[in-house]
Amino acid sequence: MSHPKLFIPGPVEVSAKTYEAFCRPMVGHRSKAFQELYAAVQPGLQTLFGTRQPVFLCTGSAWCVMEAAIRNLVRQKVLVCMSGAFSDKWFDVALKCGKAAEKLQVEWGRAIKPEAVREALARGGFDAVTLIHNETSTGTMNPLREIAAVVREFPDVILITDVVSSFTVVPTPFDDLGADVMLAGVQKALALPPGAAVFTVSERAFARATEVKDRGYYMDFVEFKKNAESNMTPTTPSISHLYALQSKVDDILTEGLEARYARHAVTNQMVRSWAVANGFEMFPEPGYESVSLTCIRNNREVDVAAVAQWMKTHANIVIDQGYGKVKGKTFRLSNMGDENEATVGALLSAMDRALAALA
């Protein structure tokens, strides 16, 4: 029997082609073969990020880079935009790194507004902002472009953006936005096995990093930059991830970025329409719904755990029962990665059967 298919918002289903790439034989990480592999993936990754800066491979999950950005770049105080589980946690992480941090917090499901960011930064004392573009726990997409424009009104403020669950789902052009760090884990929108992250850093941020003490070693941005000049990583990386990334970047550029964005928009709309047709409401504030996943408010008060169990048993599909404090009050269906109209259609017809069976 085939494995249960993941429609949770990460990790998501990994294609046979990606697994095959992941399992290729090893090369030495200081070998010419590695340097060639690294160099071969660079242009594609730069296209996906919309940048001329080098794109780095981190052997660690997204949090590795999220923490590193704080350690490398915050001297004075970081403004943490908080609107859900991941963005809320970034505040604690900043404190654990020994940095001064302040909250810009909204209720789960609400979006961060550019005016609020401007108001906070205008009070002064900040030298960095953290922003999660797509807050996966609440299925809410923040207005990245507008917020980035506001941060750029403050030349000394570094903008750290997490695009973990929006990368290649919607455009997030790094250079154009004027962001300073952009990072993505690989097990969400890129549909790779978990365990690595990709990120890019602006010249302004490199300059800042050189002035910050206690950057540590493993995730020192300056070390990454130095090693990238010879197409290498500071430490032995997950070479398997680099193979898988090469395969995935090829897939994405073959499909075409615009077609990929359009595919996500269509499949996401299918899920939203299904939810509304079945009497459910969206959890996010109207106008800020994610395109990567749908966080559905359980206003019908169905037994979410029972629905998830039915899906697993009868459809061999895993859905998410809601994150943290909104578990059961919401549930989430992902359309990230390789999903298309046929596979999302199959998910939704299984959901129909589940709701009918449990009615």
Displacement of CA 154 from its chain's centroid (Å): 25
CA distance 91 to 130: 9
Provide the minimum distance between the beta carbon of 182 and ligand PLP in the complex, in angstroms, as a whole number: 12
- CA–CA gap between residue 354 and residue 344 (Å, rounded): 15
The nearer residue to ligand PLP, 293 or 354, going by C-beta atoms, is 293
How many residues touch ligand PLP (CB under 6 A)?
14
Q: Which is nearer to ligand PLP, 29 or 188 (CB)?
A: 188
Residue 54 or 195: the one with the smaller Cβ distance to ligand PLP is 195
Q: CA 209, CA 220: separation in Å to the nearest integer?
A: 8
Interface with ligand PLP includes 83 (CB under 6 A)?
A: no
Distant-in-sequence contacts of 146-152, Cβ < 8 A, 24+ apart: 146/114, 147/81, 147/112, 147/114, 147/117, 148/177, 148/178, 148/179, 149/114, 149/178, 150/114, 150/115, 150/117, 150/118, 150/121, 151/117, 151/121, 151/178, 152/178
Q: Is 241 in the site for ligand PLP (CB under 6 A)?
A: no
162 binds ligand PLP (CB under 6 A): yes
What is residue 325's DSSP assignment? G
Two tokens, residue 58: 């981190």
**Minimum Å distance from CB 183 to ligand PLP?**
9
Q: Report the residue number, 131 or 311, with the smaller CB distance to ligand PLP.
A: 131
Minimum CB distance to ligand PLP smaller for 134 or for 168: 134
CA distance readout (Å), 68 to 72, 94, 96, 105, 164: 6, 10, 12, 22, 15
Tell me: does residue 199 bind ligand PLP (CB under 6 A): no
Q: How far is the CB of 139 from ligand PLP (least distance, A)?
A: 10
Number of H helices, E strands in the chain: 13, 14
Cα–chain center distance at 255: 20
Residue whose CB is less far from ligand PLP, 132 or 177: 132
Binding map of ligand PLP across residues 41-80, x = CB under 6 A, - = no contact: --------------------xxx-----------------
**132 contacts ligand PLP (rule: CB under 6 A):** yes
Give whichever of 315 and 330 is closer to ligand PLP, judged by the CB atom. Answer: 330
Judged by CB under 6 A, the stretch of 29-37, 130-138, 283-291, 314-322 that binds ligand PLP is 130-138
Judged by CB under 6 A, which of 41, 81, 148, 164 binds ligand PLP?
Answer: 164
Token readout for 142 is 């923040």
Phi, psi at 320, each rounded to 5°? -100, 140
Specify the residue, 132 or 209, whose C-beta has the smaller distance to ligand PLP.
Answer: 132
Question: Minimal distance in Å, beta carbon 176 to ligand PLP?
Answer: 21
Q: Does 231 bind ligand PLP (CB under 6 A)?
A: no
The span from the CA of 203 to the CA of 283, in Å, is 38
Q: Does 188 engage in binding with ligand PLP (CB under 6 A)?
A: yes
Q: How far is the CB of 197 from ligand PLP (least distance, A)?
A: 7
Task: Return the residues of window 95-114 that contact ligand PLP according to CB under 6 A.
Answer: none
- Interface residue with ligand PLP, options 7, 22, 49, 86 (CB under 6 A): 86
The CB-of-158 to ligand PLP minimum distance in angstroms stands at: 18
**What's the Rg (C-alpha) of the chain?**
20
Strand partners, 294: 333
- Ranges within 136-155 binding ligand PLP (CB under 6 A): 136
Q: What are phi and psi of 132, to 5 degrees?
A: -95, 120
Continuous H helices in 173-297: 174-177, 203-211, 221-228, 239-255, 257-277
Q: Does the protein bind ligand PLP through residue 10 (CB under 6 A)? A: yes
CA 324 to chain centre: 18
- Residue 320 touches ligand PLP, criterion: CB under 6 A: no
Residues of the shown chain interacting with ligand PLP in the complex, contacts defined by CB under 6 A: 10, 61-63, 86, 132, 134, 136, 162, 164-165, 185, 188, 194
